[in-house]
Amino acid sequence: MYIIYILLSLALGFALSGILFGITIVLSNTRAKVVGQFLMPIISIIPVIILLIITRRNIFNLYNLFDGISWVILIITNTIVIMLITLNSSNLLLSRKAIFVNGLEGLMMEIPQRILMQNFIFSLLSYWKINNSDIWCVLINANIWCLGILAQALIMKRNLYKALFTEILSSFIFSIGIGYVFMRTELILLPMIAHFAERIISRGLNVKISYKNISE
């Protein structure tokens, strides 16, 4: 019976991500272009507030800010993801401002990815009294966003299989590692720091690689 609830939570989570993506696409074609890449985090704020009110979950447990194990997991996860991205991505020429904005986007994506989706899945599994729901919600959440990337690629008819594989693998590893940190600490600041750092470092290294290749 547990497997049915797990698959159901996966389906409901994927449906929720589809709704978020759909609203984002619709609004991106309107005057909301001004906020562009921050649309999904912004539209997630209201459902996040509702979810937190219902679940009464604390996501600002500052006592765990200096949890050593969580920082080790965070650093290892980011290191692996950054290596994957920089070794497999194409060269890009980005300004410092563009890199910083990209970092902010990563930071804000923790709103829909962790605060909304992972909490949503955890709440469902807890309600259904699934054992180890804190671990299952991390695994399910990681798969939901990977499926979202795949669905977007199919819709946009992307043929860059190597780049797509790298993106999915990086997303899965990041979601597992940082998702666990969030569940362990109940402190959203750590995933936000991790996502911001991952974007800044990976894009920054990629730009340096680009400059080096151009000079050669």
Report the pLDDT value the prediction gives residue 92, as an integer from 0 to 100. Answer: 61
Q: Which pLDDT band, with edges at 50, 70 and 90, does 214 fall under?
A: very low
Assess whether pLDDT exceeds 80 at residue 1.
Answer: no
Report the pLDDT value the prediction gives residue 67, as an integer from 0 to 100. Answer: 96
**Three-state secondary structure along the chain?**
CHHHHHHHHHHHHHHHHHHHHHHHHHHHCCHHHHCHHHHHHHHHHHHHHHHHHHHCCCCECHHHCCCHHHHHHHHHHHHHHHHHHHHHCCCCCCCHHHHHHHHHHHHHCHHHHHHHHHHHHHHHHHHCCCCCHHHHHHHHHHHHHHHHHHHHHHHCCCCCHHHHHHHHHHHHHHHHHHHHHHHHHCECHHHHHHHHHHHHHHHHHHHHHHHHHHHC
Report the pLDDT value the prediction gives residue 213, as an integer from 0 to 100. Answer: 45
pLDDT, average across residues 98-104: 90
Give the tens place of pLDDT for each residue, 144-190.
Answer: 999 999 988 888 776 667 778 889 999 999 999 999 999 999 999 99
pLDDT, average across residues 81-89: 84
In the chain, % of residues over pLDDT 70: 87
Report the pLDDT value the prediction gives residue 29, as an integer from 0 to 100. Answer: 73
Distance CA 42, CA 54 (A): 20
Assess whether pLDDT exceeds 50 at residue 132.
Answer: yes
Distance CA 198, CA 174 (A): 9
In DSSP terms, 60 is beta-bridged to: 187
> How high is the mean pLDDT of the chain?
88
Assess whether pLDDT exceeds 50 at residue 216.
Answer: no
